[in-house]
Structure 1
Amino acid sequence: MKSLEIFAGAGGLALGTEQAGFEHVAVIEWNLDACATLRRNRPGWDVVQADVRTIQYSQWGTNLDLIAGGPPCQPFSIGGRHKAWDDNRDMFPEAIRAVREIRPKAFVFENVRGLAREKFTTYREYIQLQLTYPSLVRKSNEEWDAHLIRLEKHHTGTGGRNPEYKVIPPRVLNAADYGVPQKRERIFFVGFRADINANFSFPTQTHSSEELTYQKWVAKTYWEARGIQPTQVRPSEKMLERIVRNREQCTHLKPWVTLRDCISDLPDPRFQTTVEIENHIFQSGARPYPGHSGSVLDEPSKTLKAGAHGVPGGENMIAYPDGTYRYLTVRESAKVQTFPDEIVFEGSWSEAMRQLGNAVPVILAQHVTSQVATALYNANVIPLENSRCL
């Protein structure tokens, strides 16, 4: 199946999509270092360094199986200025243009959890309606909220009988719930062309916080298997009793993957005499400050962040039980984001960390796009005259 990747960054979504069985006709990204990373690791990909606003998507034909991408998150990020539609970095209009011009069988767009906040409810619904009717284009000098009114009237009128795309209500997924050693929440927009009988659903959870807590404090196998003493405060008995009851009533999920287990096969970079592992170099200067206290070893990592000017102080670091701190190396951060070990990141330390902080975890991307691939593989094409929103 053929796919086009836009806003590719370092390739987290593109690699997950590749692992799900899609072949990229092109991978588009504007950042020089990110493009260098993509080219180094996937020399067979057609990596296009360009501003998507200059791209003519018709060059890749029409009727691709998938368009995927992560429009810049800063307009909606909790750490950003929250300007949304007033931020010139809002690239959802370009994602929608790509859908309009290529008419793929399916699309997957992801963004930060901040877009799911209540203050963005109306704009989130606006995005969903645009993806449902991508041909109903915003007019020149038309404000977005006026365009929204037109879309709502079209949807509730006769136009609602013939949607161009069937769009799943956007879903926030926590990467840790799918085996990623990081508590990272992303919102996904998924849709299928109206003539595709997709039968899609979001992937079911495979891992849980409760199972990790059970193995630590009830079975105690977590500490015993690693030959260490507990590094955290024991939860209340009331909480543990609730976890035991819930565990008896449902299918057991796997435990969340911890930062300790994620990086256990790497040497501590503080004590390396030579650097034998690519991107695994100690960076000094890590320090905590209020609200930014690093990640403990025996939980999944906190969300890796990019920062406006490189790595933000107090983020992307390990908080050791003895009260010391250090930054995660680029290689460790890549493992936290579930990039394959052979992937090498180009650019300075801060630029490589920016690529990783902006990425979607590869395993999470694979889970979502594998569901899309399965839906497309099993789909029947509905005659257009019978195509209706169910």
Structure 2
Amino acid sequence: MATSERDRQLEVVEICAGAGGQTLGLERAGFRHRVAVELDANAANTLRCNLQEVLGYSEEEAEETVKIGDVADSNTWKPEEHKGVDLLAGGVPCPPFSIAGKQLGANDERDLFAWAVELCGEIQPKALLLENVRGLSANRFTAYRQHVLDRLHEHGYIGDWKLLQANEFGVSQLRPRFVLVALKKEFAEYWDWPTPCEEEPPSVGELLRDLMASNGWEEDQVNDWVKRADGIAPTIVGGSKKHGGADLGPTRAKRAWEALGVDAMGVANEAPSEGWRAPEGVPGPKLTTAMVARIQGWHDFEPLEGSASPASYEFRWKFHGRKTSVYRQIGNAFPPPVAKALGVAIRKAIHQEGERRTLLESTDRILDPVYKLLRGSNRALTVDQIIEKLAKGGTFLEQPDVERRLNHLGHDFTVTMTARSNGVIAYSLGEFKAFTGQDDHQRHDLFTQHRAKIS
């Protein structure tokens, strides 16, 4: 690659940007935001202000960069204006795939994953980065993931999925994120997933020691709490607007917080003051939103060599809105250190740095053999026929597994069942139910009805 091209500032279009966790990480990795689109006004305000105060954008640049509204609405922004951008990135809504939810997938009006893949095909960036919850990696969504890889291949990309653990990248939290990275072939040959850090992240106690002591809580009390909070945090749960206020998660998470000496039944307005003692039956102090933000990875970064971003990284990312909104912005974010690690790896691939590798084409990767067989068949197949045809290709499935996969397919695809003369049911695969930009898709009506509760 020519020196002038290598020295050029890489640009990113980010969708569903939230309060800027991925934004911050990608900026630290050497990307400059051309556009960042976000539905929630408070999160967008947080992002716009920090583009100026932390990342060095002018007021005019920040105003022009952040677009507020439905990312799939052409009135919010114009994707066609950004064809050929270096990176398309986003953290599309998690509830359609969350284990804590109903896992409606393609039938959830908040699902934008398939739409983002089609957006990638439209604007043809060099690389695509999408992250979501671990639930998307479950067997329930093997056909969904297979369809995504196949569509990306049709658009000219080679994609790969990986489950990344935030604590392996310096974040003091057990936060698994399922990540899709896809690149044009000439860049995919240089792609490699980021290597986890060798050092363990600090414990919650060590990470928050100064914040716990910031409001006058006695040193001996702080030290005792730090000793108890000697592990890393469970996953910070932001939740959606369909649920209640700020607390630190479901029952299992609350037990983990209790073991760390943290009261998970809400979020405090300030750190413990002088003389504070935990009431009977309460394991310890509540966390403030500033503490939650630090656990999520919003703390000081080292400057990236050669980055055009500001040299001084001593900052406080300021969140805008009321406490519940701020907590939700933090909890729904992609940890900045993980986003930075991915951004650095993508930047190296775009610059074609490192060892060139032989690619395994995405069409050779079969995540769901039943989906692949039905997608390529010009006639309906019974369960026995599916088993027989797969066995001829070296894939051996039992009847219950085939039936389970067919059931999963029915959630995200139109599956037609036809009774043959002998009463046996034959299956054929129809259209993908997910929203991919269709004007007449049910997503539009549902989105309008539920917009106030979508986050």
The alignment's TM-score, normalised by the length of structure 2, stands at 0.59
- The answer to which of 368-377 and 320-329 deviates more is 320-329
Give the conservation status (yes or no) of the 8 Å contact 1:259–1:299: yes
Alignment of 1:190 onto 2:200: no
Q: Deviations over 1:49-69 (max 9, x none)?
A: 020111354453311110000
Q: Secondary structure at the match of 1:190?
A: strand
Aligned partner of 1:374 among 345, 348, 358? 348
In structure 1, the residue corresponding to 2:49 is in which secondary structure? helix
How far residue 346 of structure 1 moved from its aligned partner, in angstroms, is 0.7
Deviation at 1:268, TM superposition (A): 4.2
State the 1:187 CA deviation: 0.6
What letter corresponds to residue 2 of structure 1 in structure 2?
Answer: E
Is 1:183–1:302's contact at 8 Å kept on the other side of the alignment? yes
Q: Is 1:332 aligned with 2:288?
A: no
CA 1:260–1:31 in structure 2 vs 1: closer, same or farther (change >3 Å)?
A: same
Q: Bigger CA drift: 179-188 or 191-200?
A: 191-200
Give the whole-Å Cα distance in 1 for the aligned partners of 2:102 and 2:24.
30
The residue that corresponds to 2:409 in the other structure is none
Equivalent residue number for residue 210 of structure 1 = none
CA RMSD of aligned residues (A): 2.6
Q: What CA deviation, in whole Å up to 9, does each residue of 1:256-300 have, x standing for no partner?
A: 32111211221347757xxxxxxxxxxxxxxxxxxxxxxx71111
Q: Give the structure 1 partner of residue 13 of structure 2.
A: 4
Which amino acid in structure 1 is aligned with residue 136 of structure 2? L
Residue pair 1:166, 1:194 contacting (<8 A) in 2 also? yes
1:82 and 1:257, CA in 2 relative to 1: closer, same or farther beyond 3 A?
same
- State the distance in 2 between where 1:5 and 1:76 align: 20
Question: Distance in 1 between the 2:35 and 2:164 partners?
Answer: 27
- Contact 1:57–1:101, Cα closer than 8 Å, also in 2: no
Equivalent of 1:18, from 7, 27, 35? 27
2:232 is the counterpart of 1:300 = yes
In the alignment, what sits opposite 2:372?
none
Distance 1:314 1:173, change over 3 A: closer
Provide the rounded CA distance (Å) in 2 between the counterparts of 1:94 and 1:379.
31
Which residue is equivalent to 2:67? Answer: 48
Which residues of 2 match residues 270-285 of structure 1 at below 5 A? none
Matched positions, count? 287
Report the Cα offset of residue 314 of structure 1: 5.2
Percent identical among aligned pairs is 31
Task: Tell me the SS of whatever aligns to 1:309.
Answer: coil
The 1:83/1:60 distance shift into structure 2, 3 A limit, reads same
Structure 1 counterpart of 2:159: 167
Q: Which residue of 2 aligns with 1:311?
A: 246
Q: Does the C-alpha gap of structure 1 residues 104 and 335 become closer, same or farther in structure 2, counting only changes over 3 Å?
A: same
CA distance in 1, matches of 2:188, 2:115: 26
CA distance in structure 1 between the partners assigned to 2:108 and 2:119 by the alignment: 20
Distance in 1, Cα, partners of 2:167 & 2:283:
25
Name which one, 1 or 2, has greater alpha-carbon Rg.
2
Alpha-carbon displacement from aligned partner over 1:142-182 (angstroms, at most 9, x marks no partner): xxxxxxxxxxxxxxxxxxxxxx10112x0001000111111
Map 1:99-114 → 2, pairs under 5 A: 99-114=120-135
Deviation of 1:81 (Å): 1.5
Q: Which amino acid aligns with 1:69?
A: G
Distance 1:267 1:388, change over 3 A: closer
> Does the 8 Å contact 2:187/2:349 carry over to 1?
no
CA distance in 2, matches of 1:9, 1:24: 14
Classify the secondary structure of the residue corresponding to 1:266: helix
Task: Determine the structure 1 residue equivalent to 2:371.
Answer: none
**Counterpart amino acid of 2:175?**
R
- Residues 205-225 of structure 1 show CA distances to partners (whole Å, capped at 9, x for unaligned) of 21xxxxxxxxxxxxxxxxxxx
- Partners of 1:72 and 1:314 in 2: CA distance: 18
CA contact (8 A) 1:31 1:49 kept: yes
Do 1:166 and 1:389's aligned partners in 2 also have CA atoms closer than 8 Å? yes
Match of 1:76 in 2: 97
CA–CA separation in structure 1 for the residues paired with 2:352 and 2:185: 15
2:38 aligned partner: 29
- Choose the corresponding residue for 2:210, options 265, 269, 272: 265
Give the direction of change, closer, same or farther, for the CA distance of 1:203–1:379 in structure 2 (3 Å limit).
closer
Partner of 1:326, secondary structure, is coil
Alpha-carbon deviations, 1:176-208, whole Å to 9, x = none?
A: 0111111100011001113435411111121xx
Q: Deviations over 1:43-86 (max 9, x none)?
A: 32310002011135445331111000011000111111211111
1:255 is paired with a residue whose SS is coil
Contact map agreement 2:190 2:348 (CA 8 A) in 1: no
Matches within 5 A, 1:280-291: none
For the 8 Å contact 1:330–1:352, the answer to whether it is kept is yes
Q: Distance in 1 between matches of 2:248 and 2:28?
A: 34
| Aligned mates of 2:180, 2:360 — CA distance in 1 | 20
Mapped contact 1:2–1:64 kept (Cα < 8 A):
yes
* Partner Cα separation in structure 2 for residue 25 and residue 352 of structure 1: 25
C-alpha contact (below 8 Å) 1:52/1:94 kept by paired residues: no
TM-score, normalised to structure 1, is: 0.68
Measure the CA separation in 1 of the matches of 2:20 and 2:95: 18
